[in-house]
């Protein structure tokens, strides 16, 4: 029987060679190929992530990892212990009206198969969707206020588990820096900190 870690490495090799979306700009960006009980799902890499070869490598990442450091994991430990994925793995390009382009439905569907495989391999006990696009893959979301700060039971790609949504840490967003976002983010981080999967990765050495 092939070990899960070998299957994960085979998956990552195939993922790195994906060229399914002609308007996406490579390279493919993903976190460390670690068999973790926690799966974090972002939206898509920005223009700097491909250069550095890792998710959340620029300014939004600095904010994100400050959040996680508050509840027990610094950036290096987080990257080593938690599987970091995204709705789409390549940079979508810039929006002519400003900011990064939001991936379209076909691009999201193309990348969903990679997430499906990761769900099968990891069977995560906890999913952390970051930002509205990622959250919307797991549950209906009209407003962040309705879903952040709570623990949700979800079924995603056939796997029933728990999810704690987080806002996107973008500097362009004021949601996590104003009320009620500040309070709801604190509640969400407390939910993460108290979750058995988070405690498991925090005590792992």
Residues with Cβ within 8 Å of 110's Cβ and at least 6 positions away in sequence, in order, are 18, 20, 21
Across 139-159, average pLDDT: 97
Q: Of the ranges 70-74, 96-100, 123-127, 140-144, which one carries the lowest mean pLDDT score?
A: 96-100
pLDDT of 205 > 80? The answer is no
pLDDT in tens, 57-83: 999 999 999 999 999 999 999 999 999
pLDDT for residue 2: 78
pLDDT for residue 65: 98
DSSP codes, 134-201: HHHHHS--S-HHHHTTS-EEEEETTEEEEE--B----TT--GGGSTTHHHHHHHHHHHHHHSHHHHHH
pLDDT in tens, 18-65: 999 999 999 999 999 999 999 999 999 999 999 999 999 999 999 999
What mean pLDDT, rounded, does the chain reach?
A: 95
pLDDT of 150 > 80? The answer is yes
pLDDT for residue 96: 85
pLDDT of 87 > 80? The answer is yes
Our CA dihedral for 46, 11, 23, 61, rounded to 10 degrees, sits at -10
pLDDT of 98 > 90? The answer is no
Domains of the chain: 4-12+25-203 (3.40.470.10)
Handedness of CA 94, 100, 101, 103 (dihedral sign): positive
Q: For residue 97, name the pLDDT band (cuts at 50, 70, 90).
A: confident
pLDDT for residue 100: 87
């Amino acid at each position: 029987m092939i070990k899960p870690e070998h299957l994960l490495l085979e998956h990552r090799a195939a993922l790195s060679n994906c060229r399914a979306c002609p308007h996406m700009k490579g390279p493919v960006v993903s976190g460390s190929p670690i068999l973790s009980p926690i799966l974090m799902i972002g939206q898509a890499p920005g223009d700097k992530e491909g250069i550095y070869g890792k998710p959340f490598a620029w300014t939004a990442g600095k904010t994100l990892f400050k959040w996680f450091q508050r509840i027990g994991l610094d950036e290096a430990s987080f990257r080593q212990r938690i599987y970091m994925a995204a709705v789409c793995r390549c940079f979508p390009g810039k929006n002519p009206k400003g900011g990064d382009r939001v991936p379209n439905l076909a691009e999201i569907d193309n990348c969903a198969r990679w997430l499906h495989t990761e769900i099968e391999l990891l069977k995560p006990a906890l999913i952390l969707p970051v930002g509205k696009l990622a959250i919307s893959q797991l549950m209906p979301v009209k407003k962040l206020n309705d879903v952040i700060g709570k623990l949700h039971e979800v079924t995603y790609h056939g796997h029933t588990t728990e999810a704690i949504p987080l806002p996107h840490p973008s500097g362009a967003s004021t949601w996590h820096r104003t009320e009620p976002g500040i309070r709801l983010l604190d509640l969400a981080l407390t939910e993460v900190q108290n979750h058995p999967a988070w405690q498991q990765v925090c005590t792992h050495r």
